[in-house]
Structure 1
Amino acid sequence: MNRYSFFIFCVFLGLLSVSAADPGELRGKVVNADTDEPVTGCIVKSKGAFTSTDKEGRFVITPKSGADSISFRFMGYESLSLPVTADFSCVRLSPRVTQLNDVIVKAPDIYAKGDTLVFNVAKYANAKDNAIIDVIKRLPGIKVKDDGTIEYQGKPINKFYLDGNDFIGGQYGLATNNISHKDVASVEVMENHQPVKALEGIEFPEEAGINLKLKDDARSRWVGVAQVAAGAQPLLYDGSLFTMRMASKIQNMFTLKADNTGWNPANEIREHDFDDMFSSDYTESLWPEYISADIINAPLTEKRTRDNLSWLANAITAWKKNDTSMRLKLNYMGDRLDYNSGMTTDYFSSQIPQFVQNNAQRTQTHDMSAQFYSQTNKRDYFLKEKFTVAGIWDKSNSTVTGSYDLAQLVDRKSFSASNDLKLVKRNEKKLFTLISRNTFGHNPDLLTVAGDEDAVQSLGTTDFRSTTETRFGKMTRFWKYYLTAGLDLDWLRMNSSLAGLGEFDNNGIHEAFLSNLYATPQIDYERNGWRASLRIPLKWLHHSVAGRHDYVNTSPRLYVRRQLTSKSDVSGSVAYSLGSPQPYMNITAPVLSDYRNLFIADNPDKYSQKIAATLSYRYRNPLKSLFFNLSATYNHSRTSIMSNQLFIDDFIVSTYAQRLNNSNSWYVNGGFSKGLGHSRIVVGCDVNASVSSASSMRDYDVIPYRQMTAGVKPYFKGSLLKWLSANYEADYGFSKMKINGETNDYHTFRQNIFTTIIPSDIVQFTIGAEHFLTRFPEGNTANLLLLDASAVWRLNNKVRLSLTADNLLNRRSYEYVNYGTLSRSEHHFLIRRRSILASVQYRF
């Protein structure tokens, strides 16, 4: 017995020694001991194994048998060695100064750090820049749209950070338009950015994220800008105050602004945030915006067209501790606009006379909202909670002349509340997600038309929607398996009343209850640069609106991506969709959209089919500052209904008829950008082209049509010399419509050039010109030339004086043309008159 006991004791000691000799897989995180920021690229080494930390400072290493320590080394930090039995959850490296004798190291213009591109702001900035957005607009591979949306390689970014902090959410216009470029060290573009840490290595978005890395002296103190301006047109003013503080635990941002110089407050508080809530095909709104009489689409940049009186107040306060953050946002926006425009519409029919409309319109908007947001973002756990309330009041008054003389009034009110919850739990081989969204909205709208015949359209909706989704996932080395299931419920009550139109008058209450029970199996594969994903959503929909309707929908999609090299990738997708009619098609009461257009829905209870295929290629070479992207998309749809325009007396009735309808379209777009002269200059060109063919009905006659468009947009931005900077952009567009064998086309060309002379660091002069050319189908042309000038004097690093003159030639009208489904409209739009503005800006 003693002999057996001794043998068992020896085996037990042997097992202990083996266990001690083989520590197995070790995980941890490396951070800066002073700032707690992750250390990216740190070399982690042990006996027989080494690795480096990712962008979050995390590492995984499997030491060989007999390893007794793990070492950590990174330039600029003290080396560190820890025993394998230590706690690696937070390894803290102490910074140290690295002295290089007789060597001057210059920061590069742009460099890659894993999947992150780092742009050195000092290399791209020049003396005429005021805010960081001026620099971002010149970075190769990046585009900034007119509404402030930032795109990288042709796709909108999915996150915007300040020093790695997401405390402003999607309202990044507040930061980019106000933070000085001198307070920003670098702009970091995180390609294929996954904002949820629990999904890193599992889901790979195509979109990028952007982080502004602030300079040390811009942290933990109040920074901002104040501006006052006055001018003549006959009286102009602009006053604003922006201030921000980025401390380690609490972050604050406050903005106040009043303006009548053409500025749009919506561009600064617009939510650009990427909606990552649902994995299924979630539609934000199931019901259309019926009344459209107050919607204006301006053809030029807003500083040319907005005759405004605008106000903005915004406050953001955020708290952060470790991986948990919270924020509170309060917004108010007021906007009053005056528009004057006109159009002449040709319907390509001798039976229908040309329609002439001149419109003098004033719109007013008051928009208030409050939002509370909390988030815990860990490697194995993610929890997001967002609650938002908003109230909007819109009012519009129009005086219409031309084919009809009348007045039109729109009064809208809107109250909404929404709550989002998202939970993600992850271990090494399993994933669980729970998502919930509840929304409530109340929208009373009123349209009043006063003319030879008066009409009143009242439309009040109350809508409550609740969506819950859960997802289970299992991961292996190369394969991932998911099953998503959810329930989407919606209840709507619509009170519609139309009076003054005789046979179209109606008054009634319409109630709808919609349920959508869905499940989506999905399988992903990743290996050797290949990524593939196959999703097969299945839906059972029940619509209780004007009867009971049941449908089964499906929309399988296959996506494949191949990483060709470290600089390029190609991706493609193919999708098929079998879809049911939209629920609003069951509410067949006539609705007046504006003084001339009526909408009457018609539901044939038949399915539609769609096929879509996309192919994309992307290339980027940071060392050469070269970026390129190209994509092509094909769409085919087959429906059992066709849109039908009925010309009845003075009205156009838009409805549907049961008729088989096939449509096809091709769309190609792409672009390249190249940095030259050590980032002083960026050149590039964007291109797009499309071809579409379909059919529509007019008075029950089927009319096939085919439309082609093409566009080329070359640009040049940067500093030619130290004292000379120039920005040039051109935009050529071509559009052709073919209806019943007759062809109609027009051309547009726009170019602008702004040249800045910088005789010294404190003085600069800018002169600019915008040229617009429209060639109408008849061969006649319309030209418009706008001249601007400005002078800036920087008293010091904080005070900036400027004098700006816009539209020096005082041109007042812009003419252009566009195509509708079966029509062509020639427009003229009144633009802002000449203006002169003097301003004083103070940065702190």
Structure 2
Amino acid sequence: MKKLPLLFLLFSAASAPAQDYSGHVADKEDGTALAGVIVTATDTAGHTAGYTTSSPSGDFRLVPKAGSDVARLDFSMMGYRRQSIAAPGERVVVLMTPEATDIREVTIRAPRLSFRGDTVSYNVDRYTEAQDRSIADVLRKMPGIEVAASGEIRYNGEPINNFYIEGMDMLDGRYAQAANNIAPQDVARVEVLENHQPIKALKEIAFSDRAAINLKLKPHAKARWTGTLRGSAGWSPMLWNGGLFAMRIGAQGQSMVTLKSDGTGQNPASETDRFSVEDILNGGANSYDPPAHLAAGISSAPLDDSRTRFNRSHLASVNNLRKLSADYQLNSSLAYGYDRLASDHTSQQSWQLPDGVRTDTEQESATARRQELTARLALKANTEKFYMQEKLEANLSWNDIRSALRGSYPNRQRADAPAYGLENDLKYIRRAGSRSLTVTSYLKYLARPQSLEVLRDTGLQRQEISDRGFYMNHNAAFGTQAGRFAFAFKGGVAALFRTLDTDLSGTGLSLPTANDLSTGYAGAYLQPGITYRAPRLRLTLDLPAGYRRYRLHDRIAGTQSPAGLFTWKPRLAAKWSPSGRLSLSASGTIGRDAADDRTGAGAILQDYRSIVCGVGEYLQALQRSLSAGITYKNPIGGFFTNLLVLRSWNDRPFLPTQQFDGDYIVYGSERRTNRVRTWYFSGDASQNIDALNGQAGVSVSYNRSDMEMLQEQVPTPYQTSTLTVAPRFNFRFAAWLNTEYRLAYRYTTLAIRRRSPDARHHFDQRLTVNVIPAKQWIIQLTGEHYYSQLSARQGKHLLLADASLRWKANAKWEVTAAVTNLLGRNEYAYTLFDGVSSGSCRYAIRPRNVLLGASRRF
């Protein structure tokens, strides 16, 4: 009997299950969970004791064969380095390193694109080339993403609504500071968040068709200061370009510092421009930007800025974001920009008048100095039940312009155009279940004390302007859901109080040359809306309506002109998504918006020859539009395309007028229906071409407008149209050779009734070839070809070439030598249409420049 317990113990030991092994597998560079990793258990004799694969969440559980003496676990997956660890005694986390896998001369790496839910993820390393210095350079090569010359980013044809770094919005729409400076080596993935609603409390209540971009950084770029220090200098004339960019992205806060100075044609201050779409809560009503009074300034040519800008530019910018708690964050920014520009251009302007053609010539040498100071402080909370934002922002700018002109009307101009603005934006949202309450308040004060002096042989003309305005918009909204329906009921009040004092002397015109006005309005509005949302269909009906009481007090004329106007503009929109890849949309609107607030009978001199007269009454336009669009994406296949067609009919209450009065052109308006008809079409398609390690795409747009002008008291109907076709591609033919090509072709026409139409062809193309003869060396050759049709029988070609050599001493240091405008060209000519006139212009371009520099990443 004593042997039975011993036998029982031996049997139990032999039949006991082997130890389980569990853990989590992730990408070492960005922490992404890895699915499908093969996990193999190997015993002490080198035999396989069992295997499994990781789940979509990256987790695994392996049960070896009974009785196995497991010595190690092996982890393998295509695109990653094979890894082995000793048999663990507890749950483990395994980080795998991406690595190319050679199989019979075929290289398999981590995918360029992945797609999960509403998130498209781009693998930055797969799109980065040796010459790329910023994440913006890489974004331009990603299918579906467009980066405009201004820095604005679009996804599948639509502007993005937010730009995040590690899920936090530090820059409030000024994202060019990040895109143009963050090194691609610091970014693991670019995530596109489709249909992104940034306010968590409004999810499933307020819907968005816009996308956001989120940069996921690599581990080495988190929680520490990273950035770049650059400096370079050259000659012909004296040149310099330098700057410091530093950022620290942590879990509890983010900081970014930018210091730049340039004399090579770049404009660092443009990085502080804000790119934003319509305000989600107030539909774009949170802004008041009256038209500019003065038009004197530096003329620009349709060339890259670095070709035509003779500049001295500086930028200092500091951005900070701090998490005060899990729900609250504090944003602050301070930026100062200085830009001094000089230009030299010649133009010939022709007006198609009822009795013939009038042609004037102009040779201008001008200098402009612009300074801008911007400060912002914002407190934000963003949770699923509560949202709050309090933002205070100040914008101060000073613009000083000096110019000397020869030609038909020789003169000297001096313009001072400062503008001071202060705004406060408050948003509060409380959500309870399917209901939400929203309160917003927006206030803005703007002052523009400006002046213009024109010195002619006949004397001095002087324009003095004092323009002040206070704008406010307050509203409350209630939202709720009932099944598939979402209801929104919004109401509010808006008001504008404005004073305008102007005085023009020395012109000898018979027109009134002074304004002393108090103007503005106060009104209330309602904006009910309903949205039906099915799994694949969304229908939206908005029914905005309001009433405004306008007041115009003209102290010079001693009159007051009140007016009461109703506004209404219903909109019906539909979006159908038969699959996750395809979406079709359509919308239609009809109604009357608010009246134009550009009032005043007195003339304002905008530059040495352009005089604008305001409108002395409040009238509305009848607006109608229909649009249809289609978007398709196949992220795994790397294909994105979008199309948009828009047709609009606007019956405006005023007909624009143009009349010559001695040396001046007087622009005004006459109370007469002005029917404007417009066609607009745009489309874009881009495709990954993995066989060539690159992307190809094409953008097409067409715009045609039919309108009318009263010219020299004669009604002049005319039509303008522009067709643009812009193919592009970037390919890597070999590890040592890659190239990028872009072409922009434009065909513009001007057709005036009872006259022969005039048409012009323009195109510009750019080819960049990068040669990497060794790992440390990069040779870049760039050629640009411009063609402009100056007349029916004459065209002009311009060929420009640049070259640069970069030596990467190590992972941090780089030395650069660059030569721009190798061929020594000195001018660019082109023709454009402006209303019923056409102009031929010639601009001086920067001469041959030589630049030597160095940079260090840290």
Describe the shift of the 1:160–1:678 C-alpha distance in structure 2 as closer, same or farther (beyond 3 A). Answer: farther
Q: Which moved more, 1:339-348 or 1:223-232?
A: 339-348
**Alpha-carbon distance in structure 1 between the residues aligned to 2:288 and 2:34:** 44
Please state how far the C-alpha of 1:819 moved relative to its aligned partner.
Answer: 0.8
1:461 matches 2:467? yes
**Alpha-carbon distance in structure 1 between the residues aligned to 2:779 and 2:283:** 53
Among candidates 390, 395, 406, match of residue 390 of structure 1:
395
1:278 and 1:469 in contact (8 A); partners too: no
1:96 corresponds to which residue?
Answer: 93
2:499 corresponds to which residue?
Answer: 493
Among candidates 312, 317, 321, match of residue 315 of structure 2:
312
Q: Which moved more, 1:657-666 or 1:333-342?
A: 657-666
Describe the shift of the 1:529–1:277 C-alpha distance in structure 2 as closer, same or farther (beyond 3 A). Answer: closer
1:58 corresponds to which residue?
Answer: none
**Alpha-carbon distance in structure 1 between the residues aligned to 2:484 and 2:499:** 49
1:23 corresponds to which residue?
Answer: none
1:169 corresponds to which residue?
Answer: 172
2:667 corresponds to which residue?
Answer: 654
**Alpha-carbon distance in structure 1 between the residues aligned to 2:713 and 2:278:** 41
Describe the shift of the 1:38–1:726 C-alpha distance in structure 2 as closer, same or farther (beyond 3 A). Answer: closer
Written as runs of structure 1 = structure 2, the 5 A alignment for 1:418-817 is: 418-451=423-456, 452-502=458-508, 503-504=510-511, 506-546=513-553, 547-585=561-599, 587-603=600-616, 605-677=618-690, 680-741=693-754, 742-817=756-831
3-state secondary structure, aligned to 1:634: strand
**Alpha-carbon distance in structure 1 between the residues aligned to 2:286 and 2:272:** 23
2:120 and 2:635 in contact (8 A); partners too: yes
2:334 corresponds to which residue?
Answer: 330
2:185 corresponds to which residue?
Answer: 182
What letter corresponds to residue 579 of structure 1 in structure 2? D
**Alpha-carbon distance in structure 2 between the residues aligned to 1:95 and 1:310:** 54
**Alpha-carbon distance in structure 2 between the residues aligned to 1:38 and 1:794:** 29
1:77 and 1:96 in contact (8 A); partners too: no
3-state secondary structure, aligned to 2:94: coil
Describe the shift of the 1:786–1:657 C-alpha distance in structure 2 as closer, same or farther (beyond 3 A). Answer: same
1:78 and 1:96 in contact (8 A); partners too: no
What letter corresponds to residue 232 of structure 1 in structure 2? W
What letter corresponds to residue 76 of structure 1 in structure 2? G
**Alpha-carbon distance in structure 1 between the residues aligned to 2:128 and 2:855:** 19
Q: Show CA shifts across 1:149-178 (max 9, x none).
A: 111111111111111111222221111211
Please state how far the C-alpha of 1:202 moved relative to its aligned partner.
Answer: 2.3
3-state secondary structure, aligned to 1:354: strand
Q: Show CA shifts across 1:8-67 (max 9, x none).
A: xxxxxxxxxxxxxxxxxxxxxxx999x9x999999xxxxxxxxxxxxxxxxxxxxxxxxx
Q: Show CA shifts across 1:157-208 (max 9, x none).
A: 1111111111222221111211111111011111111111111222232221
Describe the shift of the 1:39–1:425 C-alpha distance in structure 2 as closer, same or farther (beyond 3 A). Answer: farther
3-state secondary structure, aligned to 2:459: coil
2:209 corresponds to which residue?
Answer: 206
What letter corresponds to residue 268 of structure 1 in structure 2? E
1:600 and 1:654 in contact (8 A); partners too: yes
1:18 corresponds to which residue?
Answer: none
5+ residue gaps, structure 2? 1-23, 36-53, 62-90, 102-107, 554-560
3-state secondary structure, aligned to 2:299: coil
What letter corresponds to residue 328 of structure 2 in structure 1? T
Superposition RMSD in Å: 2.5
2:68 corresponds to which residue?
Answer: none
**Alpha-carbon distance in structure 2 between the residues aligned to 1:638 and 1:541:** 20
Please state how far the C-alpha of 1:278 moved relative to its aligned partner.
Answer: 3.9
Among candidates 369, 372, 382, match of residue 374 of structure 2:
369
What letter corresponds to residue 163 of structure 1 in structure 2? E
Q: Which moved more, 1:425-434 or 1:525-534?
A: 425-434
Structure label with greater radius of gyration: 2
**Alpha-carbon distance in structure 2 between the residues aligned to 1:584 and 1:99:** 63
Q: Which moved more, 1:753-762 or 1:289-298?
A: 289-298
Percent of pairs with identical residues = 28
Describe the shift of the 1:370–1:672 C-alpha distance in structure 2 as closer, same or farther (beyond 3 A). Answer: same
Describe the shift of the 1:539–1:41 C-alpha distance in structure 2 as closer, same or farther (beyond 3 A). Answer: farther
Please state how far the C-alpha of 1:323 moved relative to its aligned partner.
Answer: 2.5
Q: Show CA shifts across 1:286-338 (max 9, x none).
A: 63212111253332111111111001101112211323211110100000000
1:358 matches 2:363? yes
**TM-score by structure 2 length?**
0.86
Describe the shift of the 1:98–1:257 C-alpha distance in structure 2 as closer, same or farther (beyond 3 A). Answer: closer
1:87 corresponds to which residue?
Answer: none
What letter corresponds to residue 645 of structure 1 in structure 2? Q
Please state how far the C-alpha of 1:276 moved relative to its aligned partner.
Answer: 2.2
1:76 matches 2:58? yes
1:77 and 1:95 in contact (8 A); partners too: no
3-state secondary structure, aligned to 1:165: coil
**Alpha-carbon distance in structure 2 between the residues aligned to 1:234 and 1:293:** 27
3-state secondary structure, aligned to 2:757: strand
Q: Show CA shifts across 1:784-824 (max 9, x none).
A: 00011011100000001111111111111111111111111
Please state how far the C-alpha of 1:77 moved relative to its aligned partner.
Answer: 4.7
What letter corresponds to residue 528 of structure 1 in structure 2? P
**Alpha-carbon distance in structure 2 between the residues aligned to 1:492 and 1:202:** 36
1:436 and 1:467 in contact (8 A); partners too: yes
1:418 and 1:438 in contact (8 A); partners too: yes
1:140 and 1:673 in contact (8 A); partners too: yes
Q: Which moved more, 1:403-412 or 1:274-283?
A: 274-283
1:669 and 1:686 in contact (8 A); partners too: yes
Describe the shift of the 1:529–1:788 C-alpha distance in structure 2 as closer, same or farther (beyond 3 A). Answer: same
3-state secondary structure, aligned to 2:138: helix
Q: Show CA shifts across 1:555-609 (max 9, x none).
A: 1111100002111101011001223531223x11111111111111234544321
Describe the shift of the 1:312–1:771 C-alpha distance in structure 2 as closer, same or farther (beyond 3 A). Answer: same
Q: Show CA shifts across 1:686-731 (max 9, x none).
A: 1111222111110221011122221111111131211111011111
Please state how far the C-alpha of 1:280 moved relative to its aligned partner.
Answer: 4.1
**TM-score by structure 1 length?**
0.88
What letter corresponds to residue 442 of structure 1 in structure 2? A
2:557 corresponds to which residue?
Answer: none
3-state secondary structure, aligned to 1:583: coil
1:384 and 1:423 in contact (8 A); partners too: yes
Please state how far the C-alpha of 1:279 moved relative to its aligned partner.
Answer: 3.2
**Alpha-carbon distance in structure 2 between the residues aligned to 1:246 and 1:392:** 31
Describe the shift of the 1:295–1:288 C-alpha distance in structure 2 as closer, same or farther (beyond 3 A). Answer: farther
What letter corresponds to residue 475 of structure 1 in structure 2? Q
**Alpha-carbon distance in structure 2 between the residues aligned to 1:498 and 1:103:** 72
What letter corresponds to residue 715 of structure 1 in structure 2? R
